[in-house]
Structure 1
Amino acid sequence: MSPIGLRHGNHIHTAGDGRGLRRVKVDGREVDRVIYADTRKGIVRHHDKPSRLHKHGKRVIERTKRGKVEVEFI
């Protein structure tokens, strides 16, 4: 497990924390392209499919979903 994963605790999951692939669900529905998931706060940050750029083209637009967050390791 990476030091980043240990620093955040087991309830925060990020794409680069080194804990492997995961399946993330919000209120029972699977969410793809997740960047950040917090099971305590019930927050998931993800990209749209297909990805959309901000109008000035500097970053990819992210969306936030809230609800009961479940994370399964694959």
Structure 2
Amino acid sequence: MTEVARQLGISSESLRGWVKKARAVQEAGRVSAGRTVRSGADRDEELKRLRKLTAEQAETIGILKKATAFFAKESDR
């Protein structure tokens, strides 16, 4: 796990925390047959949340690109 964290450029403690959280979420969603139970409404809500997050991140990236171009132009002066 330490090697993977190093390759990703993050601390091993962060990676361990993420893995622990992911395992807990995975276990919470399991039923005795080992299948995850999720209603259509839950999936729709998650999809809506993820689409909103994607749009927000795309907007942030656009703003950062414009800022980068602005500061690059200013540094040439």
TM norm structure 2: 0.19
Q: Which structure is larger by alpha-carbon Rg, 1 or 2? A: 2
Higher-RCO chain (CA-CA 8 Å, sequence separation at least 6) = 1
**Which structure features the higher share of helix residues?**
2
**Which structure features the higher share of strand residues?**
1
